[in-house]
Amino acid sequence: MTSTDLTPSTEQVEALRDKVGPGPVVMLNLLKFREQGGRKAFARCGALSGPLVARQGGEIF
């Protein structure tokens, strides 16, 4: 998997926006962690992405 696999194009983001319409977006992640370090790696990711989400008006629960 490459970073481009995880990065949507402008057209894809616009198509999603147009399909969903105005209002909040809710995302639910059902995760299964590797026994060795998976949970810690996910926590590091959250620590980095949390401020980015907050700047866009989002919340992480």
CB atoms within 10 A of CB 18: 8
The predicted pLDDT at position 11 comes to 92
pLDDT digits (tens, 9 = 90+) for 6-53: 788 999 988 988 887 777 878 888 888 888 888 888 888 888 888 988
Q: If you ran DSSP here, which 8-state letter would residue 53 be given?
A: H
Q: Where are the domains of the chain?
A: 3-55
Per-residue model confidence (pLDDT) at position 2: 61
pLDDT in tens, 18-29: 887 777 878 888
What's this model's pTM, rounded to 2 decimal places? 0.47
